[in-house]
Structure 1
């Protein structure tokens, strides 16, 4: 019951924060952590209740714990590993394409190692070595668990519908190889057009500079595509200096407020990107002090795992205090476990 109360506290605290600012990383992760922790706690209590009912109930619990859970875990790990092969086939070999396989292999090694470690205890290994290995494994597991929390928060953020009138739609750029927009960027533009049709008085801001390996700026290619879709040129604003998501938001904000003619109220702004990128885009919009909500275009299933892992790593780098707090928590747990009872 104590765990249920603790999980509920995380949910309540997170909800209070999100009601004030739905783009709060702390609030979203708090709700996600509490929800997942509460679900696991209630599931554990349910299994205990089933096991106490009868011998048949005990058998069911044993099948779930020792067969179903391991099979699901193995299936997820193998999916991540196989996904890298699919990425290499469809997108070409790259370092980021290997992130999915690294996660799958990491899970296959670290999770069994953790259970083995807590089974043998520190009796068979020198205490310092045991503590060091335990610290590394706990840090790995906690970061992996918060990846699940991040996925939940990202999904939760996008589930809230946007029904208000929109004045400006920012389209975040992505890499191009020619003046034609690739499928990933096209999906972002199509999502923006979808909202433009619903808000005929709005304007679209194409945001993206020119990389060293790009023939033109991303904004140029995006504008060219929008014109081909019969979007009037006067409805398109160009921001072609940005090189990061933060700069997308910062520079687009400047262009929007230079174009905005209403002194009585602020413009209502939306940004369009792919679904895996919406949450980080929203957090960067907040950092740029731009009040804007995001919508996500669908992404091919094979591309999602690698993209989501990459987004999560970027957020861990952005919120260094959160990452350091996780590491410190693991260190504290190891120190407490090493203390004599």
Structure 2
């Protein structure tokens, strides 16, 4: 028993070491979420075993009640997830534009609400084989999507744990569209203000003013480039005119990073220290683009309104999935084949038994 108890803690520490090495080497690896969750849940399992081994009712019962309460809250959230999604969709509908991107929680809520009825119709109106296949396969796909979504949430939260030193030479602020053609939106203002806050703290602490690069091109409905509008906003809010640079050619986050890196490379500073600023939900994917552009920079995120986060995080997740669409397509095909195997095994177990018996007889005759 003592050996088994110590073994669980060794496994926990092994997961932590692997996670720490992986995360230190590259903060943008999605696998970091898997290693962290293996550490996280093995830690709580080891702790639970340790508590149970005390056999002390004063410890075991309160902890057990707390554990059951947490499970109850999680189950309640899952039971009412469609209601929560509809509630969020209603808030977004009132406060934001009615774009497709802002209606993701509404669409997901509708799917979750209708799914049990659709499954019931499939089981009622289709032959047994097809009914089993068209219910098993979607369930496995949903579990697969939920697994990677949870993993993405993990790495996104982990990426927020970052306290940069105030020794930067450049601060890149990513654009996010203008309103009325030339005005900074509240969301974009949050990004700029976050960058200005870092700029002013560093200037006060070290006396070294970093250059701020405001990155964003001109959209079809805009009368001026985002980068220039952002630069003017920053200068009006205390950034030195000589410290504010506008990058006005980029149209995407990838171009934000590439074109900003070009400006940095043209500076006389050797081995410049750089940081980028965007909204908190966007930091992880933006860091991927920074790495692809060869830009050594970590990101800090400005706060985002709580009601806006579900749609924003879902958009980021979809974008991450699309970056690896070939891998996920292969996995979906494998899930379909596995579903087919499970259905045949469930409905035609006699076929499997006969086939195994035939294989055994064939081997015996060799």
CA contact (8 A) 2:178 2:185 kept: yes
Match of 1:81 among 75, 86, 103: 86
- In structure 2, what is the Cα distance between the partners aligned to 1:174 and 1:315? 18
More moved, 5-14 vs 141-150? 5-14
How much does 1:330 deviate? 2.7
Say whether the 8 Å CA contact 1:249–1:288 is kept in structure 2. yes
Q: Tell me, what secondary structure is at the counterpart of 1:142?
A: helix
Written as runs of structure 1 = structure 2, the 5 A alignment for 1:110-189 is: 110=115, 126-163=128-165, 165-177=167-179, 178-189=181-192
Query: Contact 1:167/1:199 (CA < 8 Å) preserved in 2?
Result: no
- Residue 250 in structure 1 maps to residue 258 in structure 2: yes
After superposition, residues 170-249 of structure 1 pair within 5 angstroms as 170-177=172-179, 178-200=181-203, 201-249=209-257
Shift of 1:77: 3.0
- 1:173 shift after superposition: 0.0
1:145, 1:245 → 2: CA distance? 26
Counterpart of 1:199 in 2: which secondary structure? helix
* TM-score where L is the length of structure 2: 0.76
Structure 1 residues without counterparts, runs of 5 or longer: none
Deviation, structure 1 residue 108: 4.0
- Structure 1 CA distance for aligned equivalents of residues 272 and 295 of structure 2: 10
Q: State how far apart, in whole Å, the 2-side matches of 1:330 and 1:111 are.
A: 21
Q: What RMSD in Å do the two structures reach over aligned CA positions?
A: 3.8
TM-score scaled to structure 1, two decimals?
0.81
Unaligned runs of 5+ in 2: 204-208, 353-366
For the pair shown, which has the larger CA radius of gyration, 1 or 2? 2
User: C-alpha separation between the residues in 1 aligned to 2:72 and 2:200?
Assistant: 51
Find the residue that maps to 2:184 and give its secondary structure: coil
Deviation at 1:337, TM superposition (A): 2.4
Length, aligned pairs only = 323
Partner of 2:292: 287
Equivalent in 254, 262, 266 of residue 269 of structure 2? 262
Q: Distance in 1 between matches of 2:107 and 2:12?
A: 30
Q: Specify whether residues 110 and 288 from structure 1 end up closer, same or farther in structure 2 by C-alpha distance, changes over 3 A only.
A: farther
Match of 1:18 in 2: 23
Specify whether residues 89 and 332 from structure 1 end up closer, same or farther in structure 2 by C-alpha distance, changes over 3 A only. same
Label 1:287 to 1:112 Cα distance change in 2 as closer, same or farther (>3 A). farther
The structural deviation recorded for 1:65 is: 11
